[in-house]
Amino acid sequence: MIKYLLLGLLAAWLFYVLRRPRSNNPQAPGQSAPPPKPQAMVECAHCGVHMPANEALLGQRPTGADYFCSEDHRRAGPRAH
């Protein structure tokens, strides 16, 4: 009687393992995606918030590379120290 119970449990476990949804991740189990590469950070010339350089807006002055976090801050210009 016990061997039938064990066979039933084994069959249920196999059914569960074979029927569960599989991940669409083509990587082997245990491997993760490589971490993102570091990005250069810049400071808003108006408010001082730091942001990635690829998200910053460049200033309109030809003399220096001022970065701004928004169009409003770019229009307002750099803050006076």
User: For the segment 11-28, what is each residue's pLDDT rounded down to a tens digit?
Assistant: 999 998 888 776 665 555
Of residues 36 and 29, the one with the higher pLDDT is 36
Residue 36: band (very low, low, confident or very high) from pLDDT cuts 50, 70, 90: confident
- Report the pLDDT value the prediction gives residue 10, as an integer from 0 to 100: 95
Measured between alpha carbons, how far is 13 from 19 in angstroms, rounded to an integer?
10
Point out which residues pair with 58 in neighbouring strands.
67
Model-wide pTM > 0.85: no
Residues 6+ apart with CB under 8 A from 4: none
pLDDT digits (tens, 9 = 90+) for 49-67: 999 999 999 887 666 678 9
